[in-house]
Amino acid sequence: MSINIPDSLPKLLVLLGIIGMAVGIYVEKELTENYYVKFDKYDEIQDAVTLESYVVELEKKNLLERAKQLSQSLNVVNPIETNDSITSFIRVFSGDKKRVILTDTLDKYWNNYLKKQKSLDILLKRKEIQQKNINSEEKILDSRKEFYGNFFGIGFLLFIIGIGTWSLDNSKPSEKIVKQNDKLYKFCQSCGFKFSSIRPYGTEKDKTENLAFCIECYKKGKMSEPKLSKEDFINRKKEEIKNKGWLSRKLLMARFHSLERWNKDDYY
Ligand SMILES: [Zn+2]
């Protein structure tokens, strides 16, 4: 039993398969690129944070040195207190004149330090937001990749099925050739004439074509000269071609001798 596959189906499957795979690859590429654009932005912010942290450290160092120097030279208590994470400025606006002057002088350094610290805080906030963005983008990317990855998978499957059925379809011999033991003849296997529109194939009883014999030799399932012998046939042909050239005669006689009707018992 043979499976009947329409000619266009395998081609359609292969086409759909290629489209599916292409969509899969394209979308994956786009999604990955978008993701890396976001990631690059994050990197930029990270760089800015590093730089700004360095600037803050410098400002802090500057402030601490100034405070230490001035408080020593004025011989007053250092108004800047610092431990690992907290730096505080104890301002004095009235009373001890030296301490008021020290407060006024350090105010500029203190404000610079605070300003830099503030922009670092803003950058850190931006970095945090971008990190959240990337995390959610990662989730979206994963789910989309899974979804569009299916496109590639299904496309690949369709492609393989398409190619498979295509070659199956092509390797399937036509029914006519199968009928004639896998042979497609150029010449009538009884008279040796070449098949053409004026010398069509013979016919079977059920009106189907017989691809071995021409209509002159074989009609409705019967040989027109069933009792003709090979010898008589050859002699008749010799007579027919006696006026042709030597080479033509040789070639034609070789063809006549090779015709299946005269070499196989099946046809008697
Ligand atoms: Zn014939």
Q: Residue 72 carries which side chain, given as an amino acid letter?
A: Q
**Which of 145, 171, 197 is a domain's end point?**
171
Distance in Å, CA 1 to ligand 1 centroid: 33
pLDDT at residue 267, rounded to an integer: 59
Label residue 104 by pLDDT band (50, 70, 90).
Answer: very high
Contact between 36 and 181 (Cβ < 8 Å): no
Specify if 123 maps to a domain. yes
Choose the final residue of a domain: 149, 171, 193. 171
What tokens does 215 get?
């209509």
Q: How many angstroms separate the CA atoms of 215 and 207, rounded?
A: 11
Residue 3 in any domain: the answer is no
Confirm if 130 and 45 have CB atoms less than 8 A apart: yes
Ligand 1 centroid from CA 218, angstroms = 7
63 located within any domain: yes
Cα separation, 223 vs 213, in Å, equals: 9
* pLDDT the model gives residue 238: 94
- Asked whether the predicted pLDDT for residue 194 surpasses 60, the reply is yes
- 111 in a structural domain: yes
Q: How many angstroms is it from 215 CA to the middle of ligand 1?
A: 7
Give how many domains the chain has, as a whole number.
Answer: 2
Q: How many angstroms separate the alpha carbon of residue 173 from the centre of ligand 1?
A: 25
Query: What is the Å distance from ligand 1's center to 191 Cα?
Result: 4
Given a cut of 70, is residue 129 above it in pLDDT?
yes
Say which residue the tokens 């907290």 belong to.
Answer: 86
CB neighbourhood size of 36 (10 A): 11
249 C-alpha vs ligand 1 centroid, how far in Å? 18
Backbone angles phi, psi at 189, to 5 degrees: -80, 10
| Number of CB atoms found within 10 A of residue 233's CB | 19
| pLDDT of residue 87 exceeding 70 | yes
Distance 235 CA to ligand 1 centre (A): 16
How many angstroms is it from 255 CA to the middle of ligand 1? 13
Residue 179: is its pLDDT beyond 70? no
Task: Give residue-wise pLDDT tens across range 43-74.
Answer: 899 999 999 999 999 999 999 999 999 999 99
Asked if residue 196 and residue 156 are part of one domain, the reply reads: no
User: Are both 16 and 148 inside the same structural domain?
Assistant: yes
What residue numbers bound the domain in which 259 lies? 176-267
- Do 37 and 167 belong to one domain? yes
Length of the chain: 268
Cα(210) to centroid(ligand 1), Å: 11
Crossing angle for the helix pair 230-240 and 246-258, to the nearest 10 degrees: 160
Instruction: For residues 108 and 43, state if they share a domain.
Output: yes
Q: How many whole angstroms from 194 Cα to the centroid of ligand 1?
A: 8
Are residues 36 and 111 part of one domain?
yes
State in Å: Cα 247 to ligand 1 middle: 22
Could you tell me if 211 and 238 lie in one domain? yes
C-alpha to C-alpha distance for 213 and 186, rounded to whole angstroms: 10
**In terms of domains, do 149 and 42 share one?**
yes
Please compute the mean of the pLDDT values over residues 219-226 and round it to a whole number: 91
Asked if residue 38 belongs to a domain, the reply is yes
DSSP code string of 171-195: HS--HHHHHTTT---SB-TTT-PBP
Identify whether residues 157 and 90 lie together within a single domain: yes
Average pLDDT value for the chain: 86
Per-residue pLDDT for 235 more than 60?
yes
Q: Write the CATH number for 35.
A: 1.10.287
Q: Report CA-CA distances (Å) from 152 to 19, 20, 143.
A: 9, 6, 15
- How close is the Cα of 228 to the center of ligand 1, in Å? 13
- Using the mean position of ligand 1's atoms as its centre, give its distance from the Cα of residue 105 in Å: 123
Q: Would 192 be classed as within a structural domain?
A: yes
The alpha carbons of the chain give a radius of gyration, in whole angstroms, of 49
183 with 256, same domain: the answer is: yes
Confidence of residue 1 (pLDDT cuts 50, 70, 90): very low
On whether both 45 and 24 belong to a single domain, the answer is: yes
CA 135 to ligand 1 centroid distance, Å:
82
pLDDT at 176 over 50: no
* Residues near 126 by beta carbon (within 8 Å), at least 6 away in sequence: 45
From the CA of 174, how far away is ligand 1's center (Å)? 23
Give the end of a domain, one of 171, 188, 214: 171
Rounded distance from Cα 217 to ligand 1 centre (Å) = 4
In whole angstroms, give the CA distance from residue 218 to residue 209. Answer: 10
Q: Are residues 91 and 27 in the same domain?
A: yes
**DSSP classification of residue 217:** T
Per 3-state DSSP, the chain is made up of helix, strand and coil in percentages (nearest 5) of 65, 10, 25
pLDDT for the residue numbered 33: 84
Residues 21 and 149 in one domain: yes
Give a yes or no: residue 2 inside a domain. no
Helix (H, G, I), strand (E, B) or coil at 222: strand
Domain assignment present for residue 161? The answer is yes
**Is the pTM for the entire model greater than 0.85?**
no
